[in-house]
């Protein structure tokens, strides 16, 4: 009888340990799912085409994701507070047009003015979004959807519906290199690192998490909800403005439609990176993996000649999968 009892206890202990091990493996797989997904993409695409894992193609991917990285960084701040910004794609076009209008004359100072005014145009739309959401209490979806149309209309008005070309060499140099490193990629790295520091190491970053996690508790704790919400939209607008400037330099013209659809890629990168649409959860590191996954996927599918229509389907399924994994992760933690 005792021997049977001991055997039963041993079996139960083994099963319990196996269950713990299984849960541990599951938690590990969910926690590092983005790294695993990116690794699978890289290996699969490398096997499919030898030219994929070359230094030149990796550089192309980084240049291609630079603009989306800036937008995704801004989206991270906004979504972290429980908001959404649908206007950044139109802001890219508007900022590119504004910068191009002032970049048609030579001179370093003129180039700096063009860059500054392009970023300022984006920040202005972001401030308008922030004022509507934070102080006028307009739902983020409605406010930014309206300003998406406003920004697009302004871009067409300023450009008269035509590309603004004839840009100075100094401005076009923004798409060049410094010490062999691409300027857009350098800008992307600096912005991402600064954003990570702000979110992870500063009081403002803590407030961003608090507003998205529990607005009522944040208010009780003394967090200025309106100011935080206003600021994140200004950040998103300014980064969209910077992206518009870099794209105008790369395209050698300011084009009103240059940012069409970019807002969806930015939101997708943040969501794939684990930024919860409910707010208050996620990290800048996750967003980095998000826009890298999108960049690798876009580049790789183009290399192996997959139809753009199928690419949209794949990207949509990945977004759904990312949200599902996020739900599973937090359900497991709870």
pTM: 0.88
Model pLDDT, residue 180: 82
Residues 307, 312, 313, 319: is their CA dihedral positive or negative?
positive
For the chain, list the strands marked E by DSSP: 177-178, 181-182
Q: Cα dist. 185→289, 308, 322 in Å? A: 15, 25, 26
Is the pLDDT score of 16 beyond 60? no
Q: Which of 46-50, 168-172, 305-309 has the highest mean pLDDT?
A: 168-172
Report the Cα 278 to chain-centroid distance in Å: 16
**What residue segments make up the domains of the chain, in order of their start?**
34-333
Give Cβ neighbours of residue 79 (< 8 Å, ≥ 6 apart).
212, 267, 270, 271, 275, 276, 277, 279, 282
User: 258-273 burial string, b = 16+ CB within 10 Å, else e?
Assistant: bbeebbbbbbbbbbbb
d(CA 192, CA 284): 7
Task: List the Cα angle 277/281/283 in 5-degree steps.
Answer: 110
246-268 pLDDT, tens per residue?
A: 999 999 999 999 999 899 899 98
For residue 14, CA distances in Å to 2, 166, 181 come to 18, 74, 55
For the segment 300-315, the average pLDDT, to the nearest whole number, is 85
Q: What is the pLDDT of residues 153-181, one digit of tens each?
A: 999 999 999 999 999 999 999 999 988 88
Q: In this predicted structure, what is the pLDDT of residue 38?
A: 79
- Print burial letters for 186-208: b (CB count within 10 Å at least 16), e (below 16): ebbeebbeebbebbeeeebbebb
Class of CATH domain 34-333:
mainly alpha
CB 99 within 8 A of CB 210: no
């Amino acid at each position: 009888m005792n021997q049977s009892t001991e055997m039963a206890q041993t079996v139960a202990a083994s099963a319990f340990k196996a269950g713990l091990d299984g849960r541990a493996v599951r938690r590990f797989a969910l926690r590092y799912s983005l790294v695993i997904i990116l690794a699978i993409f890289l290996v699969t695409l490398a096997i499919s085409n030898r030219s994929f894992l070359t230094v030149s193609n990796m550089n192309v991917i980084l240049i291609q994701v630079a603009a989306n990285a800036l937008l995704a960084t801004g989206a991270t701040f906004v979504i972290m507070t429980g908001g959404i910004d649908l206007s950044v794609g139109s802001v890219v076009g508007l900022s590119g047009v504004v910068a191009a209008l002032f970049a048609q004359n030579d001179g370093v100072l003129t180039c700096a003015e063009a860059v500054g005014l392009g970023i300022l145009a984006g920040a202005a739309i972001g401030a308008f979004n922030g004022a509507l959401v934070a102080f006028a209490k307009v739902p983020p979806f409605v406010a930014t959807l309206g300003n998406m149309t406003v920004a697009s209309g302004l871009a067409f008005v300023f450009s008269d519906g035509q590309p603004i070309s004839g840009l100075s060499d100094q401005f076009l140099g923004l798409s060049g290199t410094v010490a062999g490193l691409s300027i857009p990629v350098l800008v992307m790295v600096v912005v991402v690192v600064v954003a990570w520091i702000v979110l992870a190491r500063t009081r403002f970053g803590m407030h961003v998490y608090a507003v998205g996690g529990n607005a009522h508790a944040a208010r009780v704790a003394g967090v200025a909800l309106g100011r935080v919400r206003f600021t994140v939209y200004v950040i998103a607008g300014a980064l969209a403005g910077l992206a518009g400037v870099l794209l105008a330099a790369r395209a050698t013209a300011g084009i009103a439609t240059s940012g069409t659809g970019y807002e969806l890629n930015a939101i997708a990168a943040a969501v794939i990176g684990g930024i919860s649409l409910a707010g208050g959860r996620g990290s800048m590191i996750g967003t980095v993996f998000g826009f890298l996954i999108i960049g690798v996927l876009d580049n790789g599918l183009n290399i192996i000649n997959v139809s753009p229509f199928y690419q949209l389907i794949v990207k949509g399924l990945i977004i759904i999968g990312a949200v599902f994994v996020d739900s599973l992760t937090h359900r497991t933690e709870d």
